[in-house]
Structure 1
Amino acid sequence: MTDRPSILSRLNALPKRKIARWGAVGYVVVVIAGAFIGAEIALRSKTKWVKGTFVPVGRRGNSVYLPASPETLSKGVIGMVPIAPNRGHALLGEAKLAGTLVRREILRERGRIPDGSVAWASTFVYNGTPAQLGVPFEPTVVHTDVGDMPAWFIPQLHGAGAAEKGDAIAIVIHGHGGQRAQALRMLPTLMESGVASLFVTFRNAYGAPRTGKGYLSLGDQEAEDVLHALAWAKERGFKRAVLYGFSMGGNIALCAVQRQDRWPIPVTGVILDCPALEWRDVMFSQGERYGLPRFLARPVARLTELIVTRRSGQNFDTVDQLAAAPKFTLPMLLFHGTRDRTIPVRQSDKLAALRPDLVEYHRVEGAKHIRCWNISPKEYDGALLRFIEKVLLGVKGG
């Protein structure tokens, strides 16, 4: 019986030109497919749900035991919300392995999460409205030229801090495919600072009005909705504001900052959490994240840019905040995690290096995308409080 030739020997027998042609075809297919997928994600990314995982809960006293998963094993603090018929919410401390399970201690609890219940666990901590924290709020809308944008208004607390900052409001802006609930982790500290808060959304995000084909503009047109949010604040009697942007929300905030001549009220500072500062670099980074070698990631990123521009008219220079850095005049508080695989930390490194006169930079070791708070809530909250105090103390409303 004759041995059949191996696959390797068959390949070696193929003409080199044929192999080269098939390699070239494969290269082109990967570049084109990757670019079209990347463009679709860039232009339309929204989801109804806050990212998390559903888990069965074992409880012994103040300890909970959860199945191991990327979410339950994440570094730092996570949140847990039981599904019906149970009610409540818990803040859980650092993960520790207990055999095949993950043990976390309950740091804070509202209601009661019983043993044997099923719960949603997430590094975003909350998945509802401010009511989930026991905080009174007003569901409202921000009127814009393209429709009404849903928002949550949280009035300032009464007290000495509020008396000093009673005319100030924080405009909180979620990111690409994000939800307002992702910033609820920071709400207690915003309230403690004495400012009111308006958690906004923007055109073509989940629950907001759709414009045209529903394409996002990566910060450019969405900044118009933030200007309208400032107008909403002015109508409510506020005289000054800080902008607080997460991921793409940071780019939106910086686009709004550059339209100072159209501010309805003064903006005195900007808070940025893992901001998307330069989208070409983000697209290149995403190619690498999903396993493309650099020689493929670069052409995929370039073609993605061309497709996005062709489909939506996007001007990538308009949303390049690193190029715009010399124009900035406002103080900034900047957080970015070293394990961020969505927006590379090198972007924030560069902004901090370009404008050390304006930027207070907290480079958080081990933090994933917009999870800097989770690694060290005390340090994050302390920096947030000090920054708000700095940019609002003694500023007179106009």
Structure 2
Amino acid sequence: MSILTRIRQINRRRALGWAAFSYAVAVLSGAFLGAEITLRSKTRRVKGEFVPVGRRGNSVYLPASPETLSRGVVGIVPLLPNKGHAVLGPPKLAGTLVRRDILEERGVLPNGSLAWVSTFVYNGTPGQLGIDYEATSVHTEVGNMPAWHIPAVSGERDAIAIVIHGHGGQRAQALRMLPALRRSGVASLFVTFRNAHGAPRVGKGYLSLGDSEAEDVIAALDWAKAAGYGRAMLYGFSMGGNVALSVLRPRHQPYPIPVTGVALDCPALDWRDTIRSNGQRYGIPGFMARHIGNFVQYLVTRRSGQDFDVVDQLAAAPGFRVPILLWHGTRDATIPIRQSDALARLRPDLVEYHRVEGAKHIRCWNIDPAKYDAELEAFIGRVLPGVGV
């Protein structure tokens, strides 16, 4: 019997039924996984890879991988035989290896060591940069949130930057920007929020994508006021950007101290769009990604009571009243750059927008650190005039 004959003998109604069932199982499986990641994602370690290191003079040779081949600078921390840290320049192929030149080095990065390498550059505390800091905590209604306080170089307690990590992120991911913050003259408070790694768990441990987390940033402003600071800017990464913009909602005002500006790095501005986009990111066809995305939203709302309208910052944009510094990378596969494009279009009177060619999610700094730092320092000088003088 030929194959065509066998195909003709298949019961079409039964085949369609099995196809529909298989499709439904795929959509439901994807949606349940997506909802779990959306509600609970958190990591214990800063993302990176462990690699063997070959060193010759001021050059380091690493196995080729997505992390070691990433555009711009990376950081490397040797695990054995001793501790140290180095910042490595852009990659160059050397046969089957990747060569990067050492730009900065603290301690020793020995030949033959096993090391952690990452586009996040640092994986420790401000002490990894040789900067003094205070390990403190921000008191909130749901518990004490761990934080790092880095005083201004001048010692003056005038202005402070509240630095907010992202979804599943950690404070160390923003240490790349700490030298620029220090040069600008501001103090810094690197905060955590409820249900993130190391912070108190509330209820079932669900994130609210920027809504209730904003209350923890308001508590950080209370901390800053009690510590003697008189004004602040907010600096948010990814979901931390949504948290920062949620602080601008009228229900959180007046603030304990004035908030005069907001800096955003690859912010999550529209979670519905982000959920749909992340479905397609893994090769799921567009129509299926839409179905999965819609069901993820339903499950998230059903499980946690999440109101996606409350964290839709594009809809809220007409109400923003403070200057916004915005970076977004054109290769961001986590948060679609079209969201930042839309915010810049909606509020050209407030938004200073830097569209960074070739940058991945919250890796804009890595492409051109000097340029990024200069933009950050200039913005701080504009929204916190007189700081550091």
Same fold at TM > 0.5: yes
User: Equivalent of 2:329, from 334, 337, 341?
Assistant: 337
- Matched residues in 1 for 2:254 and 2:201: separation? 24
Question: What aligned pairs does 1:86-165 form with structure 2 within 5 A after superposition?
Answer: 86-158=82-154
Contact in 1 for aligned 2:148/2:190 (Cα 8 Å): yes
In structure 1, the partner of 2:369 is 377
Mapped to 1, the partners of 2:49 and 2:171 lie a distance apart of: 18
Deviation string 1:196-248 (CA, Å, 9 cap, x unpaired) is 00000000000000000000000000000000000000001101000000000
SS at match of 1:271: strand
CA contact (8 A) 1:50 1:178 kept: yes
Separation in structure 1 between the aligned mates of residue 279 and residue 53 of structure 2, nearest angstrom = 37
The structural deviation recorded for 1:347 is: 0.4
Asked if the contact 1:227/1:262 (under 8 Å) is kept, the reply is no
Q: Kindly indicate whether residue 339 of structure 2 is the aligned counterpart of residue 347 of structure 1.
A: yes
2:195 is the counterpart of 1:196? no
Is 1:318 the counterpart of 2:277 in the alignment? no
1:281 paired with 2:273, answer yes
Task: Identify which of 252, 258, 281 aligns with 2:249.
Answer: 258
Secondary structure at the counterpart of residue 336 of structure 1: strand
Name the CA distance, whole Å, in 1 between partners of 2:300 and 2:83: 44
Aligned residue for 2:292?
Answer: 300
How far, CA to CA, are the matches of 2:44 and 2:266 in structure 1? 21
**How far apart in 2 are the matches of 1:42 and 1:194?**
36
- Taking the aligned partners of 1:124 and 1:98, their CA distance within structure 2 comes to 23
- Give the CA deviation at 1:183: 0.1
Partner of 1:51: 47
Structure 2 Cα separation of the partners of residues 25 and 324 of structure 1: 40
2:171 corresponds to which residue? 180
Q: Which deviates the most, 340-349 or 13-22?
A: 13-22
Shift of 1:30: 1.4
Tell me the SS of whatever aligns to 1:171. Answer: strand
Shift of 1:22: 1.7
* Alignment CA distance shift 1:20-1:145 (3 Å): same
Secondary structure of residue in 2 paired with 1:83: strand
Give CA-to-partner distance per residue, 1:130-180, whole Å, 9 cap, x none: 00000000000000000000000000012xxx76xx410000000000000
Q: What amino acid sits opposite 1:298 in the alignment?
A: R
In 2, distance between residues paired with 1:13 and 1:355?
A: 62
Structure 1 spans left out of the alignment, 5+ residues: none
Q: Please tell me whether residue 219 in structure 1 is matched to residue 210 in structure 2.
A: yes
Contact 1:52 1:121 in 2 (8 A): yes
Which residues in structure 2 correspond to 1:20-39 (within 5 Å)? Answer: 20-39=16-35
Q: For structure 2, list consecutive stretches of 5 or more residues without a partner in the other structure.
A: none
Inter-CA distance 137–28: structure 2 relative to 1 (3 Å threshold): same
Q: Displacement of 1:10 after TM fit?
A: 4.0
| SS of 2:61 mapped into structure 1 | strand
Residue type matched to 2:257 in 1? I
Residues 80 and 113, structure 2, Cα contact 8 Å, conserved in 1 = no
Which residue identity is paired with 1:113? Answer: L
CA distance 1:12–1:353, shift in 2 (3 Å):
farther
Instruction: Name the SS for the 2:314 alignment partner.
Output: coil
What is the match of residue 263 of structure 2? Answer: 271
Q: Sort the Cα spacing of 1:333 and 1:55 in 2 relative to 1 into closer, same or farther, 3 A.
A: same
**Residue range with higher mean Cα deviation, 95-104 or 9-18:** 9-18
Partner SS for 1:318: coil
Instruction: Provide the rounded CA distance (Å) in 2 between the counterparts of 1:338 and 1:15.
Output: 48
Aligned to 1:357: 349
Once residues 57 and 158 of structure 2 are traced to their aligned partners in structure 1, the CA distance between those partners, rounded to angstroms, is: 44
Partners of 1:315 and 1:352 in 2: CA distance: 24
Letter in 2 for 1:208: A
Would the alpha carbon gap of residues 26 and 157 (structure 1) be closer, same or farther in structure 2, given more than 3 Å must change? same
What are the within-5 Å matches in structure 2 for residues 220-259 of structure 1? 220-259=211-250
Is the contact between residue 92 and residue 107 of structure 1 (CA under 8 Å) also seen in structure 2? yes
Aligned equivalents of 2:51 and 2:182: distance in 1? 31
**TM-score, scaled to structure 1:** 0.95
The Cα offsets for residues 360-395 of structure 1, whole Å up to 9 and x where unpaired, read as 000001100000000111110010000000001159
User: Cα RMSD over matched residues?
Assistant: 1.3
Note if contact 2:78-2:116 (Cα within 8 Å) is conserved in structure 1: yes
Counterparts of 2:356 and 2:166 in 1: how far apart (Å)? 19
Cα distance, 1:85 vs. partner? 3.6
Per-residue CA distance 1:104-142 (angstroms, 9 max, x = gap) = 000111111011111100000000000000000000000
Letter in 2 for 1:185: R
Instruction: Provide the C-alpha distance between the structure 2 equivalents of 1:10 and 1:155, rounded to a whole number of angstroms.
Output: 77
Q: Write the deviation string for residues 340-362 of structure 1: whole angstroms up to 9, x where unpaired.
A: 01100000000001001000000
Residue equivalent to 1:81: 77
Contact 1:170 1:243 in 2 (8 A): yes
